[in-house]
A and B are shown apart, each in its own frame.
Chain A
Amino acid sequence: MFLPRIGLILGSLLIAWVLMWFTQGTGVVQDDPERNIAIPDELTMPLKIQVAYNDEKIFFRYRWPAEAAYVYHDMLRYEGGQWVRYGSPPIGRDPNNTYEDRVTMLVDDGKVPEFARYGGYITVGANPRYFTDTAAASEVRQHPHLGEKLGASDVRKYLPQTRMDIADWRGVKDEETLQQQREAGYFLDLWHWRAGRSNAIAASDDQLIAEHRLGDSGRGPYTTNWDSENNQPAWMFDSEQVGIDALNWDDIQANRFDFDGLYYLAESFAKPFDPDHEWQEGDVIPRRMLREPSGSRGAISVAGGPARWQEGYWDVTLQRALDTGYPLDDKMFKTQGEYTLGIAVHRDSTGSRWHYVSHPYQLGLSREDTEVTAHHFNGEQPDWSDDWTEMTLFYPGQVNWPLLVSDAHAGAPDIEAGKPVKPRHSEKQLAIYGVEIQFNDEIISQWCKTLVLGLFLMLGIWFGLDRLLQVYVVRKTQGGA
């Protein structure tokens, strides 16, 4: 009579364990656009990089897999007599294919020492845009520096020392200190290639991270094509030059384009918008107009003409003068110099924080003791060999610097002690943490219940076995066991 009952008890334990094993981690993590949460299908992706330089310029070549290229960005569609915008920064993936692919690279020359140890994490401050606890646009607009001076309506990347309190984006240090920081090199150079807003004219944006994500001085590679007074585009295609008045919504929906054709509007073939033109339902005019960049902001360009996506890979080569002559905007490269790179990729029609980022990597010019080596060459263009540095990029989720240096992070004392992240956390680990932190309260609650119910099961098993042994003892005493 004991065997079936013991079998039931042990069966309960084994069934519970098997059930828990195969259902663990389910039931909590899911997309929640209202909280700015969208989980990408893949949490990591590969990237390969090569770097070379001649006496004048440095060249960075990036190659990464992407199922498709997304080059359309921020479009105005004519519908019902109105020009309707498609391409505001999406939560996760843009269903309309109106958000471009990008590769971005942060560069430092040692003046921002935490960057070499923790990479882009140091630039993610409190309440950044598209976090669940993002700062209210109205509050940012009213901020004397960010809103009133810089014209910002959201909190973007910033460096820790630009704030009086690391956990408060509002406490920007005074103008004089910010200027002194910049002159001391306390900023990160940001190379920003966009498949829609710069690549078509073989340009790249050139920005920097200081107290905010700022543009370098000069003119950027695009401008906004919108006449807010009349609620219509400011520019349209000049059909006499290019044969079309507008793009077609069906092509955008199908993500159909030709790298040699027109999928963008540029200053060189645009003309002032004509509201009296017979616009058709589904006509599309890009909300961004490309233009030749200039000054410090135009220092980076695409080597060899616009980059292409083919056979499942983007292959982008950017070039820039070793010394741009703008020391307050750019990090200059010198032979035997060592630099830190942090690279990020947007793919699959995503924007803002839905990118894949790298750990910090050390770059050396003609140095063999760094993770990435830039080789010197003579001539105009590098003769790329097959000598790539391979990286794994990861989705960082909603982890910010204030969290990492707080008591909630077990590694905070290590950060304080200056221990780097790379030997400690793999890309996969950081990606998973980045996802889970978005559901931290829910997961802790479910984890607590799992822990307690597991112990309750053991209690039940103990009650059952104890009682059976009691019965066994009685029967044995009675001689009947």
Chain B
Amino acid sequence: MSGIHAMLVHFPIAFWALASLMIIVGALMQGHWAQLAKAGLLPVLILGLLGGIAGMVSGWLVWPADANLYSPLTRNHLLMSFWAFGIYAVVTALVWRYRDLVFEGAFRWAMLVLALMGGLFFAISGTLGGHLAGSPTPFSDLLGAGGWTVYETFYVPDWVLVVILILAVASAVAGFTAKTRS
């Protein structure tokens, strides 16, 4: 299953990388390339999500469930994979419902930040996957230089979890309190 997983995860990586590039082009450029990027974004995102599901399911089957949870490196790989999937799920849902409108006004900056965050998460997840397969990359050292040794499980203390909860609610409230009439 390890080989199949390694093969399958290239699909979401490729689609999400392409989607992030298209979002950057769509958000920052105008003209033909921007239109092309916006027009092709949704199918790329959908394919990315489908690839993500295939990658995660096949990844879960590589080792016994206990082994997935006992290894700090695997835990980190799982966490970053889920977060990458979560971010691109948000982007996909927004593009699905609002199409080109997500690139209008200040929304373009939201798309840009989400795309970059998603890119960061799948880059980390990918390098951890390589690590698990026995091929570490210098990107792990870069993360280490930034303060996170990838062999240490990525978890945060309870007070930070509370802050995240508050920020999540605040984000939702920021939208729900907007009125249709100014």
Q: A8-B170, A13-B113, A455-B83 are in contact. Are A465 and B155 (CB under 8 A)?
A: no
Stretch at the interface among A20-28, A85-93, A178-186, A309-317: A20-28
A450 to B165, CA, bound (A): 10
Quick one: which of B63, B132, B146, B161 contacts A450, CB cutoff 8 A? Answer: B161
A469 to B64, CA, bound (A): 43
Residue of B nearest to A24 (CB): B154
Q: A19-B160, A25-B152 are in contact. Are A471 and B94 (CB under 8 A)?
A: no
Quick one: which of A20, A407, A412, A476 contacts B156, CB cutoff 8 A? Answer: A20
- List B contacts of A19 (CB < 8 A): 156, 160, 163-164
User: Are B153 and A457 neighbours in the complex by a CB distance under 8 Å?
Assistant: no
- List A contacts of B142 (CB < 8 A): none
- A254 contacts B by Cβ under 8 Å: no
- A322 contacts B by Cβ under 8 Å: no
- List A contacts of B63 (CB < 8 A): 410
- A35 contacts B by Cβ under 8 Å: no
A409 to B86, CA, bound (A): 28
Chain B 70-95, CB within 8 Å of chain A: the 1/0 string?
11101100110011001101100110
User: Are B157 and A26 neighbours in the complex by a CB distance under 8 Å?
Assistant: yes
Stretch at the interface among B13-21, B30-38, B103-111: B103-111
- A101 contacts B by Cβ under 8 Å: no
- B69 contacts A by Cβ under 8 Å: yes
Quick one: which of B94, B132, B164, B170 contacts A462, CB cutoff 8 A? Answer: B94
User: Are A471 and B178 neighbours in the complex by a CB distance under 8 Å?
Assistant: yes
User: Are A466 and B169 neighbours in the complex by a CB distance under 8 Å?
Assistant: no
| Contact residues, B46-71 vs A (CB, 8 A) | 63-64, 66-71
What is the number of residues of chain A that contact chain B, defined by CB distance less than 8 Å? Answer: 73
A465 to B110, CA, bound (A): 8
Quick one: which of A433, A468, A473 contacts B175, CB cutoff 8 A? Answer: A468
Quick one: which of A429, A447, A454 contacts B75, CB cutoff 8 A? Answer: A447
- List B contacts of A432 (CB < 8 A): 72, 149, 151-152
- List B contacts of A440 (CB < 8 A): 70
Chain A 418-457, CB within 8 Å of chain B: the 1/0 string?
0000011000110011001100100110110111011111
A383 to B157, CA, bound (A): 55
Rounded to whole Å, the gap between the CB of A10 and the closest CB of chain B is 5
User: Are B151 and A460 neighbours in the complex by a CB distance under 8 Å?
Assistant: no
Quick one: which of A429, A459, A472 contacts B168, CB cutoff 8 A? Answer: A459
- List B contacts of A423 (CB < 8 A): 134
Rounded to whole Å, the gap between the CB of A154 and the closest CB of chain B is 26
The 6 A-B residue pairs with the shortest CB-CB distance, nearest first, are A27-B157, A467-B175, A460-B168, A464-B175, A12-B167, A463-B172
16 examples of A-B residue contacts, CB within 8 angstroms: A6-B110, A16-B164, A21-B148, A26-B157, A410-B71, A447-B79, A451-B78, A460-B170, A461-B168, A464-B173, A467-B175, A467-B178, A468-B178, A469-B97, A473-B98, A473-B101
**Which B positions have Cβ atoms within 8 angstroms of A?**
63-64, 66-72, 74-75, 78-79, 82-83, 86-87, 89-90, 93-94, 97-98, 101-102, 104-107, 109-110, 113-114, 117, 132, 134, 146-149, 151-158, 160-161, 163-165, 167-176, 178-182
**Which A positions have Cβ atoms within 8 angstroms of B?**
1-3, 5-10, 12-17, 19-28, 406-410, 412, 423-424, 428-429, 432-433, 436-437, 440, 443-444, 446-447, 449-451, 453-469, 471-476, 478, 480-481
